[in-house]
Chain A
Amino acid sequence: MQTQTILAELFPNELEYQIDNWVIRGSAETKAGKVEIIGTVDSAAINQAIAITLADAVLDVIAQGKKTPIVFIVDTQGQDSSRADELLCLNRTFAHLAACVDLLRRSEHPNLAIILGEAVSGGFLSYGLMANQIFALQSSQVKVMDLNAMSRVTKIPLDKLQSLSKTSAIFAPGVENFYKMGAVDEIWVNLDEHLVENAIESQRTHIQDFLTDNRRQVAKERDGRLLCNEIVDAVLSA
């Protein structure tokens, strides 16, 4: 589905946006009030320029001081891989962007990420994965690496990875797996104008709760990550 079509279904009222250099910036009206739209489109490979632009947009919304909700649009193939980007420490720029999203959470702006196309590895980590809630279209692709490449790098036969991925959500691509692992809150099948406003209104009723990262408990309830919650508790009680 095209970005344009999806956004029109989610935001039928006063939707405005521009797309420039893979970055989408816009706004829409919902029953929960105005929302700001910030993100990437067309499977963006996130580089220095994109990360700096996203961080700037987030800081602008916080600086307005109105606790305006932000909807992050996620469509990224991961980080761009170039010597020019790495020389200026791309990981440091990503850390800054993630810290901006974290400040947004702490400043009590409702915020959520919607995975429209792809959500891959570092590109996903730098902003989408830092949001209060993450919703993914059923058609979206969420992953660190596909199984072919994983087999090549880890030297584990592809058929072994494929067969294990039927019972384990730990390593294989797929939006269902990220749901089980506690990183995706809901998978959206049918789109309508109430999805975003409902999420925002719900966040407003308990916005402080989002400051506690409960994804490891959710992952346990969904049989995704079975160990991490126990390990964290064991460290805390040691």
Chain B
Amino acid sequence: MNNSNNKDSRQAHAHIQKSFYEKTARNRIASIVDKDSFVEILKPGSVPTSPNLASLDITGSFDDGVIIGKAKIKDDAVYIIAQEGRFMGGAVGEMHGAKIVGMLLKALEEKPKAVVFFVDSGGVRLHEANAGLITISEIMRAMLKVRNAGIPIVTVIGGTNGAFGGMGICSCLSTHIIMTEEGRLALSGPEVIETLKGVEEFDSKDRALVWRVTGGKTRYLLGHVQVLVEDDIDEITQAIVDGIQLPIDTVDLDYLQQQQKGLQQQYDQWFGEKDSIAIWEGMGITEPESISMLSAKQVRAIKQG
């Protein structure tokens, strides 16, 4: 092996070590919060595993796929909610959802500086479908309460399952969304659309297309999320630190009327396009085909003009 190969493999190794995408939810927390500051709530063993899954002969997880607790990030006291995409795709069942609702309601009482939410979920857990759907609406109500109490909810979407279904909706109730290029944010997953409408509507195996429709760069350039960063723990941590400090909007009539106007304008201008390249071109971005090759920093520079 020659020197340059050694260097490449060292760089690749360093990249994986710094990757949010590659980490478990617990390691994401450990690598982002201040050292030894995380205190888990409902630790493994303190609550039973899901009886709803047990009755279907499925082995549950000791945390039901979501880790909650208190921590500090650069000395700010925050609450953390981190979905574990490796357990049932991060999907929301009864206990999983109740842990999130509990943490949000606790934030109303104890007023941390922010709630930091690592979303990594395909949405409702079908094995507990009714409970999952209803608890998502409970999460939505609780998120709006937290916002209206002046507490920011900073959401990071950069895991293996993205943010789909009900968790795609919940994510958009955050005050601040940080995405990586690898993160995906949508309602129906590409596989679902392909099954329902055919491969000509959405070829879910075309990864480049999936990213152009649901990925971080598209969401950032179209203004659906606030920040685009590389899949890098240090960049994500800095974006969280910055996001926590920003003033937040109260969800009142003025705010929602502004949002309404924005959604209507977006619809009038772009609805009917089926690929973001045409929209990027329409936005005046030169060489829109090259966006997929650019770094997060370069894409941010394009948006900021």
Contact = CB atoms under 8 A, between A and B. Distances in A.
Interface of A: 48-49, 52, 55-56, 59, 62-63, 79, 81-96, 98-100, 102-103, 106-107, 121-122, 124-126, 129-130, 143-145, 150, 153-154, 156, 160, 164, 168-172, 177-178, 181-183, 213, 215-216, 219, 225-229, 231-236, 238
23 contacts: A49-B271, A55-B260, A84-B271, A84-B272, A86-B213, A91-B169, A91-B185, A94-B187, A96-B172, A100-B256, A103-B256, A124-B133, A126-B169, A153-B126, A170-B94, A170-B130, A219-B134, A225-B134, A227-B94, A231-B99, A232-B101, A234-B46, A235-B102
B97 interface: yes
Interface in B68-110: 68, 94-95, 97-99, 101-103, 105-106, 109
Contact of B56 (A85, A156, A232): A156
Given A99-B256, A228-B97, A122 B169 contact: yes
B126 A145 contact: yes
Q: Which 9 A-B pairs have the closest CB atoms?
A: A235-B102, A91-B168, A95-B172, A144-B129, A231-B98, A228-B98, A91-B187, A232-B102, A92-B172
Interface in B243-300: 251-253, 256-257, 259-260, 263-264, 266-267, 270-276, 279
Given A52-B260, A89-B186, A171 B41 contact: no
Contacts of A63: 253, 257
B169 A81 contact: no
B118 interface: no
B284 to A, nearest CB: 18
A233 B263 CA distance: 38
Given A122-B187, A181-B131, A98 B173 contact: yes
B140 interface: yes
B136 interface: yes
A52 B267 contact: yes
Given A99-B173, A103-B256, A156 B98 contact: no
Contact of A83 (B126, B138, B213): B213
Given A125-B166, A170-B52, A103 B251 contact: yes
Contact of A82 (B197, B252, B267): B197
Contact of B98 (A81, A88, A92, A227): A227
Contacts of A126: 169
Contacts of B135: 228
B131 A170 contact: yes
A48 B202 CA distance: 18
Contacts of B65: none
Given A86-B188, A183-B134, A228-B101, 18 more contacts: A52-B260, A52-B263, A59-B257, A81-B197, A91-B164, A92-B172, A94-B172, A94-B187, A95-B171, A99-B144, A126-B169, A144-B124, A150-B126, A178-B134, A183-B133, A216-B98, A216-B138, A234-B42
A83 B98 contact: no
A234 B40 CA distance: 13
Most buried by A among B134, B219, B264, B273: B134
A83 B94 CA distance: 30
A215 B304 CA distance: 44
Nearest to B272: A84
B261 to A, nearest CB: 10
A215 B134 contact: yes
Given A100-B256, A234-B102, A235-B102, A130 B141 contact: yes
Contacts of A88: 222, 266-267, 270-271
B164 to A, nearest CB: 8
Contacts of A91: 163-164, 168-169, 171-172, 185-187
B51 interface: yes
A102 B173 CA distance: 12
Contact of A79 (B55, B130, B148, B188): B188
B120 to A, nearest CB: 15
B166 A122 contact: yes
A90 B213 CA distance: 11
B126 A98 contact: no
Nearest to A177: B130
Given A103-B256, A235-B102, A164 B263 contact: no
Interface in B25-83: 41-42, 46-47, 50-52, 55-56, 68
